[in-house]
Chain A
Amino acid sequence: MKTKTELIKFNQGLDLESGARLDTFDLMVETYGELNKDKDNAILVCHAFSGNHHAAGKSSDNEALGWWDEVIGPGKAINTDKFFVVCSNNLGGCSGSSGPLSLNPETNELYGKDFPLVSVTDWVNSQKLLSDYLGISKWYMVAGGSLGGMQALQWAISYPNKLKKAGIFATATKSSTQNIAMNEVGREAIRKDKNFMEGDYLNHNVKPKSGLKTARMLGHITYSSEDIMDQKFGRKFQDIKSKIEGTVDYEVENYLQYKGEKFSDTFDANSYILMTKAMDGYDASFSSNGSLEEVMKRIKAKLLVVGFDSDWLYPPKRSKEIQLAAMNVDVECSCVILKGEQGHDSFLFASDRYVAIIKGFLDSK
């Protein structure tokens, strides 16, 4: 699979929904496959909260497989032999695109906590500039799960003529009260970490690792499901030799400790706060005073909405809401609810039906 990773500079800047402006910004972009002559085989893939531009494959032995590697690749559901797949790290992230870890050109210091608040719509606007840069006038599909699904939906709303299809997976038109509540617990854990220093930790050469770790541990519980946790860990005790923490009794505790620890090594706390704020703040109907139908009227793309039975973060009823609003205003939209045992994370895994449905959607006229 032909893979290219590139940092792209956008000197035209971007006006953000918050009213702030980035005079210049960078996007870290990874592409797979080749753009054809007509430039009509391009698929934009949008990442979820903690993902990044690295969606598929791996470029070196040390690198982890991309977050959607089960779905993107030669012969896979999103077939890179046929499609040119593009994924960029969202603004405000911490994997190379402009974010809290970048240099603020005005002050020549790291942005840190001063990186402006970004929104799903801002991301979509930045990705629009990316498509202009790549010379892609119409995406064959824009797709994503969770926070990535929100971007796919917003693409269809913001730029109706710039995409043919949208794949909207395991997501909702807005975060629920419960979603916001969960995210706030994560943010609180970070803010109360003594190393957080009100977001100014970079200047003190410390990192609020313990807060990030706690936040991620809670996150992992919400991405999973009761059944999959039972299946994976049951009530098995962790064997003494591989305990990460002395206090750990059960395997599930050790797993969360491990995942949390790993995440806190690589993720940035200010990014965590920005990303979850963007997720909480998203409401597709915001621009039309809460009428989802009103905004969805603009959509011209064909939609595929997929929800998963075991997802309790963005449960199937949230997918059905999107479908119903689409049908109310005559937008072409299919809605399938899959079994998906992995809870919210199911959208990442290439289960047979999921693959067949994505393939069918891509192959359809």
Chain B
Amino acid sequence: MNTSLTNIIKKWVPEKSKVIDFGCGDGSLLKDLIDEKNIRGYGVEIDHNKIQECILKGISVIEKDIDEGIQDFESCNFDVAVMASSIQCLKEPHLALRKMLKLSKQCIVTLPNLGFWKCRLDLAQGRMPVTPNLPSSWYETKNLHLCTIKDFETLCFEEGFVINEKFFLNDKGAKSAMASIFPNTFASEGIYLIAKK
């Protein structure tokens, strides 16, 4: 995860809150949040090697396929659920979002923007987009449900989710004026803090 993304997430996560990170990878984000914001953190991951790295880092990690359901966790009262760069890999992203907002007050979602101009350019040339944010070829990608910034915000509106904060990054993983003003075309990645109405 790039540093600006991590920094933004850090800003949005309240001190001492209870956080669950879906698709937590090697646990770096949770480790940072534990060290810097004193959170109580849990990660969910399916990749064996990454689970091992989490355990070695001392991060509480649960081996689980998010697609198989996360409703068991509803009793846990999380303050923040994080789903960084994995929402598009799920079988039913809209249902996953609903479930996440059932088990947590707020939810941080980051997603690659298929409307980014470089993606559009690739498509205009008749090819599937390959960008720093979408690095895999069509036959290797784990992404099942790619969307644009506009698509995602429409989904939030339709589902009745409130977007409390949002932030856009260009393909260098940095803040840029263009990405902020015209995110659907110039943001490579969107970061959202959403909640239920």
Chain B's interface size range is 20 to 34
Task: Report the minimum CB–CB distance from A73 to chain B (whole Å).
Answer: 21
Select A327's contact among B52, B56, B73, beta carbons within 8 Å: B73
- Asked if A364 and B73 sit within 8 Å, CB to CB, the answer is no
Stretch from A19-27, A81-89, A330-338 forming part of the interface with B: A330-338
> Do residues B63 and A333 form an inter-chain contact, with CB atoms below 8 A?
no
Tell me whether chain B's interface is mostly helix, strand or loop, or mixed. Answer: helix
Among A324, A333, A337, point to the contact of B72 (Cβ < 8 A). A324
* Interface residue B161 (Cβ < 8 Å from any Cβ of A): no
Cα distance A24–B40 when bound, in Å? 44
A324, B60: Cα distance in complex, Å: 12
Q: Give chain A's interface residue range (CB within 8 Å of chain B).
A: 20 to 34
Q: List residues 330-365 of chain A with CB under 8 A from any CB of chain B.
A: 330, 332-337, 353, 356-357, 360-361, 363-365
Q: How many whole Å from B70's CB to the nearest CB in chain A?
A: 11
List CB contacts (< 8 Å) of A303-338 with chain B. 304, 320, 323-324, 327-328, 330, 332-337
Contact status of A334 and B54, CB under 8 A, knowing A324-B73, A328-B75, A353-B48: yes
Contact with A along B51-90 (1 / 0, CB 8 A): 1111111111111000000001101110000000000000
Contacts of A323 in B (CB 8 A): 62
A sample of 15 more A-B contacts (CB under 8 A), given A324-B73, A357-B55, is A304-B55, A320-B72, A324-B72, A327-B62, A330-B40, A332-B58, A334-B59, A334-B60, A334-B61, A334-B62, A335-B61, A336-B51, A336-B61, A360-B52, A360-B55
Residues of B within 8 A of A (CB): 18, 40, 42, 48, 51-63, 72-73, 75-77
* Chain A interface (Cβ < 8 Å from any Cβ of B): 302, 304, 320, 323-324, 327-328, 330, 332-337, 353, 356-357, 360-361, 363-365
